[in-house]
Structure 1
Amino acid sequence: MIRRFDETPVKNQTYITRHGVYAIIINSKKLLITFQGSPHNEYELPGGGVDVGESHLHALHREALEETGWAINPKLKLGIYQRYTFMPEYDLWARKVCHIYLCHGVIKRSEPLHDDHTPIWTSPKHSFEILYNSGDKYFLKLAMNKGYV
């Protein structure tokens, strides 16, 4: 069974399962997170949905580059969790299955390709305090407790 975080499923609501990959990106004791603008206005781990036919690692590299402009080096899959949510940008009720990876930031290649994402380098402790969803916080705390960040 995959651990669930945040909202409980709405009774009689149909959810579409959507797999996503998310990166805890470290570089020189700092973490790279993003602030996603409207309609969300929240701090998140960089990442997003895995496209049909795409591998998790390819999606992880693509999403990190799109949202932060950084090339990454994935080191370790930390785990998986699920959350039930409404995604207004897709008008979709989703069961998001979130795969979390520990990565190193290699080099900044560009500005973010998504205008609504602002990359932010900050301390692990501050990241933990401002991340929006509790699943991301859980895996960041796990990485901190294991000495990875």
Structure 2
Amino acid sequence: MIRRYGEPVRAGQRYIRRPGIYAVLLRGDHILATYQAEPVPEFQLPGGGIDRGEQPIAALHREVFEETGWKIAVTRRLGAFRRFTYMPEYDLWAEKLCTVYLARPVRRLGPPGEAGYAAVWLPVGQALWQLGNPGDRAMLASLLG
């Protein structure tokens, strides 16, 4: 069973399943997070949806690069969680199935390619309370023990 985080399921609401893949990008005592200004300003683990026919690890590399401008090396799978949420940018109620990997930032190739994103180095202790998604915070906390 995959643990659920965030808001409760709304009775009668139809949700579309959206598999996604995310990374804890650890370097020393900091993580590389994304700051997304819209629709709600928040810090997030870099990552996102897996496109139809796309391999998950390829999607992770693509999403991290789009949101941070960094090339990464994937280390290992940390776990998975799900959350039910409204995604205003897609006008979609989604059951997000989020798989999280530990990865190492290798090289910054440029700024984030996706509008509205900024790459931000957060101290790990700060990230534990500043990441906007409770599932992201739980994955980081379990990694740190």
What is the TM-score normalised by the length of structure 2?
0.98
Q: Percent identity?
A: 41
Q: Distance in 1 between matches of 2:46 and 2:142?
A: 17
Q: Distance in 1 between matches of 2:80 and 2:91?
A: 24
1:115 equivalent in structure 2: 115
Give the count of matched residue pairs: 145
Q: Distance in 2 between matches of 1:141 and 1:93?
A: 27
2:65 equivalent in structure 1: 65
Moved more, 42-51 or 21-30: 21-30
Q: Distance in 2 between matches of 1:121 and 1:4?
A: 27
1:28 equivalent in structure 2: 28
Unaligned runs of 5+ in 1: none
The Cα of 1:116 is off from its aligned counterpart by: 0.7
The Cα of 1:133 is off from its aligned counterpart by: 1.1
CA root-mean-square deviation: 0.7
Amino acid corresponding to residue 88 of structure 2 in structure 1: P
Q: Distance in 2 between matches of 1:99 and 1:82?
A: 9
Unaligned runs of 5+ in 2: none
What is the TM-score normalised by the length of structure 1?
0.95
The Cα of 1:144 is off from its aligned counterpart by: 0.9
1:52 equivalent in structure 2: 52
The Cα of 1:103 is off from its aligned counterpart by: 0.3
The Cα of 1:38 is off from its aligned counterpart by: 1.4
1:86-101 equivalence runs, <5 A: 86-101=86-101
C-alpha contact (below 8 Å) 1:81/1:98 kept by paired residues: yes
1:132 equivalent in structure 2: 132
Structure 1 runs of 4+ off > 2 angstroms? none
